[in-house]
Amino acid sequence: MISKELLKREIDNVQDEYLIPLYKIIKTFEYPDDLDNIEFEEEEEDQGKKEWLKFIDKFAGCLSDTPIERGEQGNFETREDCR
């Protein structure tokens, strides 16, 4: 027989990318008619936005003292017209 303790131990072996689907499956058995009220994805989405903003601030923010500038286009030789 499978116990809750066994399930809890096995959850530690689940890869992070499968945690959301696993969470939804578990919630399905708990509240079968109320799947739309699961807020887990929104919390993860907010966390993703925060991480993205930190990333931008860390890497793009470091260029604020010396912003990236495009140099002059320069002159190119005129080549033979192949039309």
Residue by residue, pLDDT tens for the chain (83 residues) are 888 898 889 999 989 888 888 888 887 777 555 555 556 566 667 777 888 878 877 776 666 677 677 888 888 888 887 77
Query: Number of C-alpha atoms within 13 angstroms, CB side, residue 50?
Result: 6
23's CB contacts (< 8 A; 6+ apart) are 38, 40
Rounded distance, CA 24 to CA 35, Å? 8
In a domain, 16, yes or no: yes
Range(s) of the domain holding residue 49: 12-60
In a domain, 7, yes or no: no
> What pTM, to 2 d.p., does this model score?
0.36
Buried b / exposed e over 3-23, threshold 16 CB at 10 Å, is eeeeeeeeeeeeeeeeeeeee
